[in-house]
Structure 1
Amino acid sequence: MRLIYVFFLILIVFSPGCDTPTSKIVGNKNGFILEPTGVFQGVGLLGDTLVTEVDSIAQNDQILKLKEAEEKYADDPSLDNLIWIGRREAYLGRYDLAIRTFSKAIKEFPSAFEPLRHRGHRFISIRKLDSAIADLEKAAELMEGQPIQIEQDGMPNKLNIPLSTVQFNVWYHLGLAHYLKGEWNDAIKAYKKCLDVSENDDSIVATLDWYYMALVKLGRHDEAKNLIRNVKRSMNIIENDAYHKRILMYKGELNPETLLSIDSNADDQKLQYVTQGYGLGNFYLSQGDTVRAKTIFENVLSTGYWSAFGYIASEMELANLKDE
């Protein structure tokens, strides 16, 4: 008899006219009854508790896709189908479940680098940076010499064109984990590798942005300026517009304040606001304007978008400023 792996999902429904979410017990397809509450995910770099609440109405589409992923795995318990369950859990903010799923995949497919790439990413989300680095370094070892592997998007861009590869994502997230720990030289090493597998303009600007900032952190300004010399306004950017604009700002081709001409309260613009905000805050910080930088970092945190990389980086900066 085939053993079906059981996955848990907490669904939150909000009562009309109430400011506080009320709970409703919901059963999943495997018959488990779940207590719906906010679920602890981790502790932020400033000591804040990170909690996920899934809105079963607003996120109904993602919930259905998770159920579909579970059904596919039940029919075919392949590595790819197992990873998709973890990815769907992560898109719902259930990083605890996603990490558990990826851990199962790592145990069952010990020679595969793909689940290590995804678990490393989600360790970053919950601020377990050392664990992320360990996973991503192991993934880098396992994928050495392997052909470039396109990674399908779980949340497709406007053209429905996958823009990244597993190799890109391993090096990109490894660089980010080192960056968030203030390990600038290690971050640069990873981003050099990442640039080698950045195959389109979106990947290039995303890599160059963090690479550039790591160089600036080390005071290597001439090297940083030379790094981004070929970034142009005319590049074919599909989804990484925020990184593209940040680099144009570094080059003096965009007014810094135009980066935040975004509604930080609009759900569909929050991620771009957080990304732009960290870049702008870090720009002012590099110029010695600590007061303005701190204000922008605090505004980023006020969005509540705590899983975004710009949010985590803003936490890091505020923690460092607090210690000074």
Structure 2
Amino acid sequence: MLGYLEAHRDAVDILDDALAEFPGDGLLLGLRGVKRLIARDHDGARADLEAAAVSGGATEPEVYREEVTREVVNDLLGRSADTPLRGGNDVRITTGVSTWHHLGVARYVGRDFGAAAAAFRRAREESTESGAAMAALDWEYLALTREGRESAASAVLAELDGVDLSRRAAWSGMVARLASCYEQRLRMYRGELGPEALLRNDTADPLAIATLGYGVASHYRVAGYDGASRRALERVVRLGDSISSAYIAAEVDLDEL
């Protein structure tokens, strides 16, 4: 609920209390790790997510968003009852996959690229959803590239051909938007799309602006175009979705350029 209200630090406080009551609970640690990441406590996020991953994660679908009805959230926000919720109610990855993916992001922004790649690979291997698998594949490629392992990164890109996209038509909401963004990013890395095509497709959607924009910035950085990379990162930070992994990574990258 607090996530919908963007009160992420308050959510961390509540999860602190919950973990005091249930110390070591993997699900709670994973949730707090994600909230800490969004609240820009990168070290705390990694510590929680490392502990959650060690706990074995969980295999049940991460459907907590479905349990918060649109009417309740919109009532709290003073909006019309039929206003669509930000991000949609269609999260289908397991909590274990979510933990490994966000652990990868925490390691990535902490500049532990080898460990980040390993976490993204674990998320990809455990994922039963092709959209989540593409996201992990993309971030694994970026982590390997940043570590300087070009041959391993190229091998990862080739694995896009094995991703089952047959259920693409059934995707909706945030799942469809993110899957489309990551597929475009991966095809750009493979030379099948130019970066300008991605920038044309981000429209006015902050999530797409962040996700596509960070992919473009990373592409330019690898090619040695630091100026173009900086401009793409600045656009992500100016217009993108501030709770997205791409936005969080863009902030860290900007500090380095």
TM over 0.5: yes
Contact in 1 for aligned 2:121/2:137 (Cα 8 Å): no
Is 1:189 aligned to residue 118 of structure 2? yes
1:140 to 42, 53, 68: 53
In 1, Cα distance between equivalents of 2:164 and 2:55: 37
In 2, Cα distance between equivalents of 1:205 and 1:278: 15
Deviation at 1:216, TM superposition (A): 0.6
In 1, Cα distance between equivalents of 2:32 and 2:87: 22
1:312 to 241, 248, 256: 248
Deviation at 1:162, TM superposition (A): 3.8
Q: In the alignment, what sits opposite 2:192?
A: 253
Q: In the alignment, what sits opposite 2:219?
A: 283
In 2, Cα distance between equivalents of 1:304 and 1:227: 27
Alignment of 1:15-34 (within 5 A): none
- Greater RCO (Cα-Cα under 8 Å, separation 6 or more): 2
TM superposition score normalised by structure 1: 0.66
AA of the residue aligned to 1:261: R
Instruction: Go from structure 1 to structure 2 and tell me whether the alpha carbon gap of 1:272 and 1:138 turns closer, same or farther (over 3 Å shift).
Output: same
Instruction: Go from structure 1 to structure 2 and tell me whether the alpha carbon gap of 1:150 and 1:119 turns closer, same or farther (over 3 Å shift).
Output: same
CA RMSD in angstroms comes to 2.1
Q: How many corresponding residue pairs?
A: 228
Contact in 1 for aligned 2:130/2:164 (Cα 8 Å): no
In 2, Cα distance between equivalents of 1:153 and 1:201: 20
Deviation at 1:318, TM superposition (A): 1.1
Q: In the alignment, what sits opposite 1:152?
A: 63
In 2, Cα distance between equivalents of 1:162 and 1:307: 16
In 1, Cα distance between equivalents of 2:240 and 2:137: 26
Instruction: Go from structure 1 to structure 2 and tell me whether the alpha carbon gap of 1:188 and 1:270 turns closer, same or farther (over 3 Å shift).
Output: same
In 2, Cα distance between equivalents of 1:284 and 1:308: 20
Contact in 2 for aligned 1:95/1:125 (Cα 8 Å): yes
Deviation at 1:203, TM superposition (A): 1.2
Instruction: Go from structure 1 to structure 2 and tell me whether the alpha carbon gap of 1:156 and 1:283 turns closer, same or farther (over 3 Å shift).
Output: same
AA of the residue aligned to 1:206: A
Q: In the alignment, what sits opposite 2:96?
A: 167
Q: In the alignment, what sits opposite 1:198?
A: 127
Deviation at 1:196, TM superposition (A): 2.0
Deviations 1:88-135 (A, max 9, x none): 101211011111111122122224211111110011112111101111
Deviations 1:128-148 (A, max 9, x none): 11101111111112226x6x2
281-290 or 306-315: bigger deviation? 306-315
AA of the residue aligned to 2:123: C
Q: Secondary structure at the match of 2:233?
A: helix
In 2, Cα distance between equivalents of 1:310 and 1:123: 15
95-104 or 255-264: bigger deviation? 255-264
In 2, Cα distance between equivalents of 1:161 and 1:309: 18
Instruction: Go from structure 1 to structure 2 and tell me whether the alpha carbon gap of 1:248 and 1:234 turns closer, same or farther (over 3 Å shift).
Output: farther
In 1, Cα distance between equivalents of 2:145 and 2:17: 39
Deviation at 1:200, TM superposition (A): 1.7
Which structure dedicates a bigger proportion of its chain to strand? 1
In 1, Cα distance between equivalents of 2:133 and 2:196: 24
Identity of aligned residues (%): 31
Deviation at 1:304, TM superposition (A): 5.8
In 2, Cα distance between equivalents of 1:224 and 1:260: 23
Deviations 1:59-91 (A, max 9, x none): xxxxxxxxxxxxxxxxxxxxxxxxxxxxx1012
Deviation at 1:156, TM superposition (A): 8.9
Instruction: Go from structure 1 to structure 2 and tell me whether the alpha carbon gap of 1:304 and 1:157 turns closer, same or farther (over 3 Å shift).
Output: closer
Is 1:127 aligned to residue 40 of structure 2? yes
Q: In the alignment, what sits opposite 2:27?
A: 114
TM superposition score normalised by structure 2: 0.82
In 1, Cα distance between equivalents of 2:93 and 2:86: 11
In 2, Cα distance between equivalents of 1:282 and 1:255: 13
Contact in 2 for aligned 1:174/1:187 (Cα 8 Å): yes
Structure 1 segments unaligned to the other structure (5+ residues) = 1-87
Instruction: Go from structure 1 to structure 2 and tell me whether the alpha carbon gap of 1:103 and 1:189 turns closer, same or farther (over 3 Å shift).
Output: same
